Amino acid sequence: MNDAIAYRSNTVDEVKRNHTVSVPAVFQAGWNTLFVKVRNTAAGFGCKLGAEEAKVRILHVQMPFHERNGEAGWLFSAPVQKDRFSECAPDLFGSEDVAGLDWSPKAAWPSDAPVSPFERLFGVASGKKGYAWSRLLVKTTREANVGFRGLSSGPFSLWIDGRRIVGAEQSGNFSVSVTLRSGSYDVLVESTSGEDNWNWVCEAAGEGGVEWEAPVSVKGSDDVWFYLGPFASDTVYEPSELQRLNTIFPSAGESLYWRLDRPDTWIRPYYENAYLSNKWTTSGATNFARWDYPLGVTMYGLLQAGRLLGRQDLIDYVLSHIKICTDYYEYALWDCERYGFPSVNQQLVLMKMLDNCGSFGSALLEASTELEDEGFNRVANRISSFIRDTLERREDGAFYRICAGEYAENTMWADDLYMSTPFMRRYALRYGDDSFLRDAARQFLLYKEYLFMPEERIMSHVYDFKYGTATGVPWGRGNGWVVFSLSELLEALPQNDPDRPALLAFYNELCSGYLALQGEDGRWHQVINDPTSYEESSCTAMFVYAFSRGVAFGWLEHSDKYAEAALRGWHGLTNEAVDRHGNVYGVCSGSRYSFTTEYYKEELRTVTNDNHGIGIVMLAGVEVSRMRIALSGIVPTIEGSLA
C-alpha cells in the first residue's frame, strides 16, 4: 500500500481455507495505491479484499495507470512464471506498458477487431437486434434543419426524443432531414444484424452546428454512444423503456445492461454521481439517493417538516430521494450478483440486520402516503419478509444480533427498537397485517426485561449474551430510540390491545426517568445519568419528541411538567445546538457499545450536521408545534423559545 508492504501472508493464512485477516491501513489524503501479489499453489490462488465494516466503509477503487484514468475497478494480470516485482510495486500512476504485464480487462480492442461496434460487442448472428443511445446537441439559435444520414447492414430504426424518424424496415443507405430547435435530444438507434456482418453508421449535420454527447456523463470515458444487446429479432421496446439506467433487460436467459464500445466495459452507477443528484444540486450531493438508516430518519424529518410548513419542495425532495433508491433496487440486485458487491443500495441488497432496512423502510412507508409507487411496495415487502422470516430472534422471540465473529456477536441493542417497530407499525397499517403490530408491541415488553434499569427508570444501551448481562450504560441516543419508537407504536395501537396498558405504563416510567435527568439548559447528556458527559442533541430531540406527543395525545400523567420540559428541551436545542443557518451541533457520531462510560464520553465525539440528528431535530420541532396547537396556547412558555 503506497509502495510499502502492508501485509505478507504467513503459513496459517496460506493453507487455511476462508481465513480472514484484519490488516490495519492508514490512508493518506488524496490517492492511495493498492498492489496485490498472489502465488498459485496447491492450496489455492488469490484472495478477497474489502473494508472490515463494509456497511459504512466501502472501498471505491479506480484502475491504475494513466491509460485507464477515471475507470472503476481492479486490474489483474495474466499469470507469469517469475516474480516481476520482488522488491517494489510498479508505478501505478504511470503507464501500464512500462509494468510489462498482460493486464485485464483490456484497455482497447485489438487491431484486427471488427470495425462496427455492434459486431465488436455482440458478434455476428443473423437476425439479432441491438440498440445504441446518444444525445445530439443542436447549437442553432433558432429552428434549423438537421440532416441524418448513414447506412445499416440490416433493418434499422432511428428515434429522436421518442419520435421515429427512420422506419423499421430501412436497410442500406439512409438520409432524412428533421427540423429541430436549439437544445439537446435523445437519439436512439435500433439495428438488426445482416447475414454476415452487423454494421451501421449514423451522422448528423445542421445549421449552427451539432455535436454528439453521451446521454449521461460517465467517469473515465469520452464515448458518446452507449450500447445494449444482443436481443432476439422479435424484441420490441419503446424508447422510453430503453433510455434509462435503472433497468436490467432480459434476453435469452441473460440480463443485459448498457455498455461502452470497449472490451468488457459496462456502465456502472455509483452513489457519488451527478446523474442521481443533479436535479437537487449542481455539485452532486454525496448523500442524495443513498439508502442507510440515519438518512431514513432525515427523510422522515424532512417529510414531516414539509407537511407542517406546507413546503411541497421538501416533500418532493424526500419522494425523489426514496424513489431513486427503489427504482435502482432491481439493478442493485443484479449489480451485486455480477460484481460481487453492489455499487448502490448496498445495505438494502445485502440486508443482514435491522440497521440495514428498518429506519429507511419506515420513511419509505410514510412517504408512500404521498406517492403510490409499485417500487415502494416491492421494497417494503422485502423488508417485511426479512423481519418476519429471516431476522434472528432469541427463544422468547426478542430480536437480537448474532453477528458471528464480529465485535457485536450475540448482543441486543436498544437501538433496534427504532430499527424495527416504526416500520412494523406502518407496515401493519399500510397492508392490514396486524401480526406486525402485535409483534412490535411484544418487542418492547421483551426488551424491557433485558435492558430496563428500574432504579432510574431508564434503559441500558446493550445486553451482551456472551456475558449474560446488560452493559449498564444508559447511552442517550439509545434511550431516545426507545421512547421515540414507543410513542409511535402507542399512536397506532388499538385501545383494546391487550398489551396497551403495560406499554403505556412503560412509557410513563421511561418519561419520568428521563424527566428527572434533564440538564439545566434543557438538554440531556450523552450518558444520561452522568452530568459530566457532554450535552447531546439527538437524544434531547427524541425526548422532546416523545414528551410532546405524550402531552398532545394525553398519555402522560402530570402532563404540564412534560410540556414545560419539552419546551425547555426545544429552547436548549434552538439556542445552543442550532445556528441561524440551520446547522445542527452536538450530535454524537455512530456508536458501537461498551461496558464503560468513558467510551461514550471520550471516544464518541460530536459531528456537525450528522445525519443521526438532523432529522430528529426537525421532528422535535414538528411535535413541539403540534403540542402547542393541541393545547391551544395554555402551556406556559419559556422565555426566548420559538413560537
- Residue spans of the domains in the chain: they are 1-107, 117-256, 279-389
Name the nearest CA neighbour of 284 among 334, 217, 363, 215.
Answer: 217
| CB burial of residue 22 (10 Å; 0-12, 13-18, 19+) | exposed
- Count the Cβ atoms, other than its own, within 10 Å of residue 638: 17
Segment (H or E) for 160:
strand 144-160
Nearest Cα to Cα of residue 588 among 643, 541, 639: 541
Q: What SS3 state is found at 274?
A: helix
Give me the pLDDT at residue 196, please.
Answer: 82
User: Looking at residue 462, what DSSP letter applies?
Assistant: E
Which residues, in sequence order, are CB contacts of 143 under 8 Å at separation 6+? 179, 180, 181
Residue 353 CB-density burial (10 A; 0-12 exposed, 13-18 middle, 19+ buried): buried
Alpha helices (runs of H) in 370-520, residue ranges in sequence order: 374-385, 421-431, 434-451, 476-492, 500-516
In 3-state terms, what secondary structure has residue 154?
A: strand
Distances (CA, A) of 101 to 63, 72, 75, 83: 15, 20, 11, 11
Radius of gyration of the chain, Cα coordinates, nearest whole angstrom: 29
CA distance 456 to 512: 9
State how far the Cα of 209 lies from the Cα of 222, in Å rounded to an integer.
19
Contact assessment for residue 563 and residue 589, using Cβ atoms and an 8 Å cutoff: no
- What is the distance between the alpha carbons of residues 63 and 71, in angstroms, rounded to a whole number? 6
Torsion of CA 496, 501, 504, 506, to 10 degrees: -150
Mean pLDDT by 10 residues, the chain (643 residues): 89 84 86 91 85 68 88 90 85 85 89 91 86 94 88 89 84 88 94 86 90 92 95 92 95 94 91 55 59 94 97 95 94 93 91 94 96 95 97 97 90 98 97 96 98 98 97 98 98 96 98 97 97 97 98 95 98 96 94 95 94 96 95 56 39
What phi, psi does 145 have (nearest 5°)?
-80, 125
d(CA 582, CA 317): 17
Q: How far is CA 338 from the centre of its chain?
A: 19
Angle at CA of residue 167, ends 161 and 170, nearest 5°: 130
Q: What is the dihedral of CA 172, 175, 181, 184, to 10 degrees?
A: 30
- Cis preceding-peptide flag for 105 (omega within 30 of 0): yes
Burial bucket for residue 460 (CB in 10 Å: 0-12, 13-18, 19+): buried
Helix axis angle, 293-309 relative to 312-327, nearest 10°?
A: 150
Are 302 and 318 spatial neighbours (Cβ–Cβ below 8 Å)? yes
CA 549, distance to chain mean position in Å, is 30
Question: 588-617 burial, b for 16+ CB within 10 Å, e for fewer?
Answer: bebbebbeebebbbeebebbeebbbbbbbb
- Note the pLDDT of residue 54: 59
Fold classification of 117-256 is Jelly Rolls (2.60.120)
pTM of the predicted model as reported, rounded to 2 decimal places: 0.89
Measured in degrees and rounded to the nearest 5, phi and psi for residue 14 equal: -80, -20
pLDDT of residue 18: 79
3-state secondary structure of 599: helix
